[in-house]
Structure 1
Amino acid sequence: MSKVMPLVKRGVQASRLALGCMPFGGSWDSQPFTDEHVKEAEAAVDAALEIGMTMFDHADIYTRGKAEQVFGRILQARPELREQIVIQSKCGIQLQDDTWPGRFNFSREHIVTSVDASLERLGIDYLDVLLLHRPDPLVEPDEVAEALAQLKAAGKIRYVGVSNMSAPQIEFLQQAIPDSFAVNQLEMSLGHLHFVDQDIHVNQHAGTSVNFGSGLMEYCRTRDIQLQAWGPLAQGKFSGREVKKEPEHIRKTAALVQRLADEKETTAEAIVLGWLMRHPALIQPIVGTTNPTRIKACQDAERQAEQMTRDEWYLLYTSARGQMVP
């Protein structure tokens, strides 16, 4: 039923894996990025391209705009790259400053000015995909619709989606916006299982502690909204990070992942991502790292997803959740 994001430009399709560019540019403070940060990011981009990644995920706030600036430097040096890749960015979050707290902003003015600023930092004319980053309690759907229509008419965005939104929130916005949302990006991983737990805990008391929108997976699959997963490697806890202080079921799952990787002659990263991609929603993981070795370790994920049996999937799931299914 579900399908991967459609072609967003002639001859280039969003890859099953995408590179998350949140670490690009160094620290989240006012310190400027350096040439070393550009070299680090370019090495990550090259590693991603080498294993077939064509999609790169940004947000206007990542390292306070430096992530997009660094990526822009790469594109400036290699302009031919632009038409070979899919660039996605997000807007709607305003970070804390000396005057105001962190907040969300889906006003027409903020959306338009944020996209213009992202395009300037990236040094490009358009975004392939724009995501509304997190729900704004003060949102006016008609105002969002005006902003998106203005940006699309100007050729500055092609596809539109959301991030971290429930089905009712998507529906509320969608009633004012004629173009169907293409994406919903959510936290999903072997270490963040609420997207699966929500389904199996219907009519179960345990479901009261599950923090994932009821019916959200089914809603997105029915409407062909591409589900993207941020944090898909669970910060490395199953693929090499030190886990001595983690709960026993996490330690056991890390060992299980490594055993399966050894048996299948692949990497732990491929097993962890393969488990996520085995889901029939065809989830698209957003891998967030600048480490070329770790990026390349993800290369076999799609094959592992295709080969993973139902029994293996449930073995990993029950191990990671630390208890059997109801």
Structure 2
Amino acid sequence: MNYLDLGGSGLRVSAVGLGCMRIASLTAAQLDRHVHGALELGVNFFDHADIYGKGACEESFGRLLASQPGLRQRMVLQSKCGIRPGVCYDLSKEYILEAAEASLRRLRTDHLDVLLLHRPDALMEPDEVAEAFRLLRAEGKALHFGVSNFSGPQLRLLQRAVGEPLRVNQLQFSLAHCGMVRQGVSANTLFDDGLDRDGGVLDECRLAGTTIQAWSPLQFGMFGGVFLDHPDWPELNEALARLAAQYGVSKAAIAAAWVLRHPAGMQVIAGTASPAHLAELCAGAQVRLTRPEWYELYRAAGNRQP
């Protein structure tokens, strides 16, 4: 496993982190095997959110931590807040503090290593967010902060108010969902691929030293599904299969390697409840694609290269 410094925080985290969105379906024994299997693979980063399973995912994970003293010290723990039930976004000071406390109770830990704001809130007051962050850090309840799904300008606006580095921006990114790369590749053209839809978030994150965490690294669209072996992606799957055979890994590993090859130093969030699938994605951290191979996959996914 390769490791990176998360947003310049000094936290040494695995290049592939385990997303815990689906763990509520696991029994206690299955979750134990999944978490310990991840640790054996070198995965030390575990990503949660208060809405995953309506809190059940954090509760399951918390029971595991409580049952095994010392386990918490082997991991970097992150959670997200800001989405109220009913799809209302709330990044008020009061709700951030309330949500963070609730996550700590469910996870049965005294602190989060990282707390993210899950979605941009149109009614967000940056100074309120900054005060919530200040209080959580002063009380030792959250050590580092970041965002998820924020655009470049939104990141800068909040950064100015907070006055300290935002360590993470968790963004959907994959071979079949790579608009933030496609926009740059097609810059200064009249192609639709060159349209700015996110305020140059990729370069904004790099300039700020913010680590991009790639969620849904095998998905196309937000709800389209997985592109692996999907009939709508024949050229991409053919290229993935050929490179997988060449490197002796799975197609999923090559897809993860494509994300990790980008010089932004992204982290892949593997939202899987399958130990075998997690192992496949982790194998991608050991593959360094060549530049021609990276662009071949980019084109095979239907992206235009001017």
The TM-score bracket by the shorter chain reads: over 0.9
Q: Secondary structure at the match of 2:128?
A: helix
User: Which residue matches 1:117?
Assistant: 102
Q: 1: distance between equivalents of 2:199 and 2:8?
A: 30
Q: TM-score, normalized by length of structure 1?
A: 0.87
Q: Say whether the 8 Å CA contact 2:47–2:77 is kept in structure 1.
A: yes
Tell me if 1:200 matches 2:189. no
Structure 1 position 202, deviation (Å): 2.0
User: Which residue matches 2:81?
Assistant: 91
Q: TM-score, normalized by length of structure 2?
A: 0.92
Letter in 1 for 2:65: L
Q: Say whether the 8 Å CA contact 1:19–1:287 is kept in structure 2.
A: yes
Structure 1 position 207, deviation (Å): 3.1
Tell me if 1:283 matches 2:259. no
Q: Say whether the 8 Å CA contact 1:237–1:254 is kept in structure 2.
A: no
Q: How does 1:100-115 map to 2 (within 5 A)?
A: 102-115=87-100
Structure 1 position 180, deviation (Å): 1.1
Q: Say whether the 8 Å CA contact 1:5–1:14 is kept in structure 2.
A: yes
User: Which residue matches 1:183?
Assistant: 168
Q: Secondary structure at the match of 1:272?
A: helix
Bigger fraction of residues in strand:
2
User: Which residue matches 1:65?
Assistant: 55
> 1:276 and 1:132, CA in 2 relative to 1: closer, same or farther beyond 3 A?
same
Q: 2: distance between equivalents of 1:54 and 1:7?
A: 17
Q: Secondary structure at the match of 2:23?
A: coil
User: Which residue matches 1:173?
Assistant: 158
Q: Secondary structure at the match of 1:120?
A: helix
Q: Say whether the 8 Å CA contact 1:230–1:286 is kept in structure 2.
A: yes
Percent identity among equivalent residues?
A: 40
Structure 1 position 209, deviation (Å): 7.8
Structure 1 position 195, deviation (Å): 1.7
Number of residue pairs matched? 299
Letter in 1 for 2:212: L
Letter in 1 for 2:153: P
Q: Say whether the 8 Å CA contact 2:153–2:199 is kept in structure 1.
A: no
User: Which residue matches 1:20?
Assistant: 19
Q: Say whether the 8 Å CA contact 1:93–1:104 is kept in structure 2.
A: yes
Structure 1 position 75, deviation (Å): 0.5
Unaligned runs of 5+ in 2: none
Q: Say whether the 8 Å CA contact 2:180–2:200 is kept in structure 1.
A: no
Deviation digits for residues 219-274 of structure 1, max 9, x if unmatched?
111111011100012277344x5x23x2xxx1221122112111211121210000
User: Which residue matches 1:136?
Assistant: 121
Structure 1 position 8, deviation (Å): 6.1
Unaligned runs of 5+ in 1: 27-35, 97-101
Structure 1 position 112, deviation (Å): 0.2
Q: Say whether the 8 Å CA contact 2:184–2:194 is kept in structure 1.
A: no
Q: Say whether the 8 Å CA contact 2:188–2:194 is kept in structure 1.
A: no
Q: 1: distance between equivalents of 2:195 and 2:182?
A: 7
